Amino acid sequence: MSKKVGFITLGCKVNIYESNALKNELSANGFIVEEAKEDDDVYIINTCSVTNMADAKSRKMIRKAIKMNPNAIICVMGCFSQTNPDAKEIDGVDIIVGNGNKKEVVSAIINKLNDKKTPKYINILDILEANEYEPLDVTTYDHTRAFVKIEDGCENFCTYCIIPYARGPVRCKKADDVIKELIRITKEGYKEVVLAGIHTGRYLDDNTNLSGLIKRILIEVPELERLRLSSIEINEVDDEFIELMKNNKILANHLHLPLQSGSDVVLSKMERKYDSKFFKEKIDKIRTARPDISITTDVIVGFPYESNEEYIKSKNFITEIGFSKLHVFPYSMRKGTKAVEMPQVKDNIKKERALDLIEYSKELENNYALKFLDKNLDVIVEQAFGDDQMIGHSSNFLQIILPLNEKLFGKRIDVKVVKIQDGKIYGVIL
């Protein structure tokens, strides 16, 4: 009887991609792969460590897996493993693997199943010394849109961020391998692909940068109908990239550009690589190429040195840019980063500012959606929504609710936006 492996995946799209790659490999080795259930023989917890809260959630999920089946093999991998030396001391964990060597997981599980008396398997690389991209490829996907990991690692060392210490330096998938993966994906019927990475804008394979890779994709993967980026830093949006957006509608009409703060004082303390003037000038260039583009962002509130005056500056700048959605994070101290040593903003002030911006984001989302009332959008249909509706996303990443027609799942269709109510967008099929 095949052994059952239950997955718990935390954190970013890269983690999701890597979990999917391991799911595919485990299935190929005869395992039954599923979301974690009480009778699984093996649990794999792919962890996150971006904040102290993420660490706490990772620990909680490890304890949950151990409790679900005390006799199961427990495998912990990813960023929490990499950044927490005490992770290997957690009672009940059988396998612990960091980043850069997740391919070890499947063989470690097989060996442990064959001989449960073997010692705890621990494999944590010195990730700051990693210099090769780990080839993990996905063959099947959980969603209508497929994610393709093209890069790993980050070298920005922002003062609030642990990720460079968790993921190591920038390493990139070969451009030829990216193209091969996309050709296979489109032949399987996927209409949309998201290029993902820890620091996607730093993609470089020999002389092929991100814009060069996108050019190749547009030429060599003609069946692809929509190409989206998971995220890109504003200082990596070059003129070549903007020109590609201007001339190629296959590139999604949406960019996620992390701002973090609209205050130059705070940006300087974060050691970001731009100021508000640079950010605004680049946005203006992007909107010259794509006037109705959706631009979403990340904002950290309550970072050290964010006085009330600086917070107001930040919010005013957000208004000036006119984002279509904010992902808001109250600053969380992270051991091992420079910002821990800085003067801290009180928790109640952080919470107040976070709630303020979350409410403001709803207003921004509604304002952006209203621009498309009675307009036509192209939508890729994803799944059923309730009993008689379905949902899909437009190129500019609006979620549209449509009348149910299961024959259209996975298809790209034209719709007209007919109603916006209670934060939901409704359309009819043209």
Categorize the per-residue pLDDT at 2 as very low, low, confident or very high, splitting at 50, 70 and 90: confident
Taking alpha carbons only, the member of 28, 24, 106 closest to residue 73 is 106
Taking alpha carbons only, the member of 109, 133, 137 closest to residue 123 is 109
Task: Report the alpha-carbon distance of residue 267 to residue 248 in Å, rounded.
Answer: 33
pLDDT of residue 52: 85
47-86: buried (b, 16+ CB within 10 Å) or exposed (e) per residue? bbbbbeebbebbbebbeebbebbeebbbbbbbbbbbbbee
Six-digit token pair at 203?
């993609």
Burial of 5 (0-12, 13-18, 19+ CB in 10 A): buried
pLDDT of 44 above 70: yes
Q: For the residues 266-289, what does the mean pLDDT come to?
A: 98
Six-digit token pair at 409?
């799942």
Six-digit token pair at 189?
């019927």
**Prediction pTM value:** 0.93
Residue 193 dihedral angles phi and psi, to the nearest 5°: -125, 135
Categorize the per-residue pLDDT at 1 as very low, low, confident or very high, splitting at 50, 70 and 90: low
pLDDT of residue 41: 95
Widest pairwise Cα distance in the chain: 66
Beta bridge partners of 42: 5, 73
Categorize the per-residue pLDDT at 138 as very low, low, confident or very high, splitting at 50, 70 and 90: confident
Residue pair 428/419 in contact (Cβ under 8 Å)? The answer is: no
Write the pLDDT tens digit of every residue in 366-395: 999 999 999 999 999 999 999 999 999 999
Write the pLDDT tens digit of every residue in 330-359: 999 888 899 999 999 999 999 999 999 999
pLDDT of 143 above 80: no
pLDDT of 417 above 70: yes
Torsion angle of the four alpha carbons 154, 156, 160, 164, in this order, in degrees rounded to the nearest 10: 30
Taking alpha carbons only, the member of 65, 61, 103 closest to residue 80 is 61
Write the pLDDT tens digit of every residue in 172-199: 999 999 999 999 999 998 999 999 999 9
pLDDT of 425 above 70: yes
Contacts by residues 34-37 (CB-CB < 8 Å, ≥ 24 positions apart): 34/4, 34/5, 34/6, 34/7, 35/6, 35/7, 35/8, 36/6, 36/7, 36/8, 36/64, 36/65, 36/68, 37/4, 37/6, 37/68
pLDDT of 141 above 80: no
CA-angle at 398, arms to 397 and 403, nearest 5°: 125
pLDDT of 140 above 80: no
Q: For the residues 127-134, what does the mean pLDDT come to?
A: 93
* % the chain with pLDDT above 90: 89
Q: Which residue has the tokens 């279509």?
A: 324
